[in-house]
Homo-oligomer: A and B are copies of this chain.
Amino acid sequence: MSHPLFEKHKAQLDQAAQALATRGYWSPYNEMPSPKVYGEAAAEAGKQAFQGYLGKTFELDQPGQTGVQAGERSPYGVDLNVSYPVCDPEALVQAALKALPAWGQLGAEGRTGILMESLQRLNQRSFEIGHAVMMTTGQGWMMAFQAGGPHAQDRGLEAVACAWREQAAIPREAIWEKPQGKNAPLRMQKHFEIVGRGVALVIGCGTFPTWNTYPGVFAALATGNPVIVKPHSNAILPAAITVAVIRRVLAENGIDPNVITLAVTPQRSATQLLATHKDVKSVDFTGSNHFGNWLIENCKQAQVYAELAGVNNVVIESTDAYRAMLKNLAFTLSLYSGQMCTTTQAIIVPAGGIDTDEGHKSFDEVAADLGAAITAFVSDPKVAHAVLGAIQSEDTVRRVDESHRLADVVLASQKLINPEFPDAQVRTPTLLKCDARDEKAYMEERFGPISFVVRVADAQAAMALSERIVQDHGALTAGIYSTRPEVVDAMVRATWRSKVALSINLTGSIFVNQSAAFSDYHGTGGNPSANASYSDSAFVANRFRVVQRRFHI
């Protein structure tokens, strides 16, 4: 009775469920792009596969095709020139509706098996996807491989495992027998059918086209909903490969491949039409507040899971590892040129300075030393290019180039030339400093490598400011550096109120902007930066409904 792909992947599913229950380190997809793991030929084959797409039309065999669209601009200045099928949104919705019943009736086991098989196939294509992510987003190679490949797959599997747990808790049927004293009991048979809410729309972002998309895609699919993926117009290729892989696995298993389709839409209006379509019952979104809030306001017919902007922040009260702290922060601010939704923007420091293992440091010293740590970190061009990558959008380039107007410049951004990609837009981080009163400068998201050292009266004020920032403007990450347990404890309590994940005294090889599936919740869903979390029960439980039937026996 059980689906063969469910049986095939059952042992790994059990491990995933166990990982969710214990939240220690676990990942089934190796993050090292190593021939020992992925095979001797994998790296070259992946590169070839990626290059094979360039200058061609990506074939998906989807319904309602009306033309093609090209136009991804590589932040590395590479000519991609891939075209994608443009399909009539209504045709995609109708195709999804047609595919829905069989996908639902396959049951949670069958869906879980097919999705785990799909993730395994995606994992085998991590090099190809890594190149696609790198060239469309501007990420450095290692990040593109890891975050675009295995880490995204981890988040996908996490969503599948989470959805499985919730669905497995519902019995398929029950005998209900109510005693009636001396009389015969009342007896009924009941069936509980898990049904998806309807068509799901998943809208991707330009910086993490797989990592931020897989949770919604796999959560929606696992719970019985056909999915339409609307990628960012500049990061279509990773999404297209993903959709093609899943469509293939579906077709191989006799399932209508239109359970998942790619919506490449030249106009935002087409996306708006999809998002407000009466049959679209959920929308997953990562991106700007502007469009995200539009979705929340206008998609009355759908559940909206949105990750929006925020102002991530770190409070520095004191440290017993000053150099290590600065190095850790310098890496955080440099990684992918600060184009992560988890990158710190505001570094809050008391006006009186901080106690450290190298003596007391004034506010200005802390700012200057952090600037120097960044400079040191990006001084080796090889390291710099590997870590910084390239700037994804012209808007971000402009923000960086104009950032000196916002506050006092501690460290100016520099334009670097990447010898391998001479047309790449590369910028080192800019570090500014300002007073807490200068809210106009730092109290909104400045996406990209732009950070502020913010002067506050004292530690108390620092934590109060952090709490207010999170509550009013949202944050996916917060950090605290302090040697005083009572300060750390106060910061912990502040994050319980403002609902943000806290990293404490990071001085080693873990960074506040990193989030590991099966252990770290990405977003709490409790502050304005995101109304959902990867992946908790709430992220999956409302994507399906239980429809029961009952009769006498």
Contacts and interface: CB of A to CB of B under 8 A. Distances in A.
Interface string A473-496: 000000000000000000011011
A505 B551 contact: yes
Interface stretch (A185-193, A250-258, A427-435): A185-193
Nearest to A168: B21
Nearest to A104: B496
B193 A549 contact: no
A461 interface: no
A177 interface: yes
Given A496-B104, A526-B545, A541-B541, A552 B501 contact: no
B23 A549 contact: no
A493 B195 CA distance: 11
B549 A504 contact: yes
B541 A504 contact: no
Contact of A24 (B177, B195, B505): B177
Q: How large is the interface on A (under 10, 10 to 19, 20 to 34, 35 or more residues)?
A: 35 or more
A420 B536 CA distance: 55
Contact of A537 (B104, B169, B195, B548): B169
Contact of A510 (B20, B188, B506, B526): B188
A165 to B, nearest CB: 7
A549 B503 contact: yes
A436 to B, nearest CB: 23
A532 B161 CA distance: 23
Contacts of A551: 503-506
Interface string A166-190: 1001010011111100000010101
Nearest to A500: B547
Interface string A237-270: 0000000000000000000000000000000000
A519 interface: yes
A509 interface: yes
Contacts of A504: 549-551
A516 interface: yes
A476 to B, nearest CB: 12
A372 to B, nearest CB: 24
- A interface SS class: mixed
A520 interface: yes
Contacts of A509: 186
A23 B192 contact: yes
Given A499-B195, A537-B541, A552 B519 contact: no
A547 B176 contact: no
A25 B547 contact: no
B548 A190 contact: no
A30 to B, nearest CB: 11
A542 B441 CA distance: 34
A195 B536 CA distance: 14
Interface string A144-174: 0000000000000000000001100101001
A521 interface: yes
A126 interface: no
A25 B192 contact: no
Nearest to A167: B537
Contact of A499 (B169, B174, B547): B547
Contacts of A546: 521, 524, 533, 536
A443 interface: no
A550 B520 contact: yes
B23 A171 contact: yes
A7 B231 CA distance: 51
A166 B525 CA distance: 16
A171 B499 CA distance: 18
Nearest to A525: B545
A485 B334 CA distance: 66
B169 A526 contact: no
Interface string A187-217: 0101011010100000000000000000000
B552 A174 contact: no
Contacts of A536: 541, 546
16 contacts: A21-B171, A24-B176, A101-B496, A165-B169, A174-B519, A186-B510, A495-B547, A499-B547, A501-B547, A501-B548, A501-B550, A503-B550, A504-B551, A521-B546, A538-B538, A541-B541
Given A24-B174, A190-B519, 15 more contacts: A22-B171, A22-B174, A165-B169, A169-B537, A186-B510, A195-B496, A500-B547, A502-B549, A503-B549, A503-B550, A524-B545, A524-B547, A526-B545, A526-B547, A541-B542
- List 6 A-B pairs, minimum CB-CB distance, nearest first: A537-B541, A526-B545, A538-B542, A504-B551, A538-B541, A23-B174
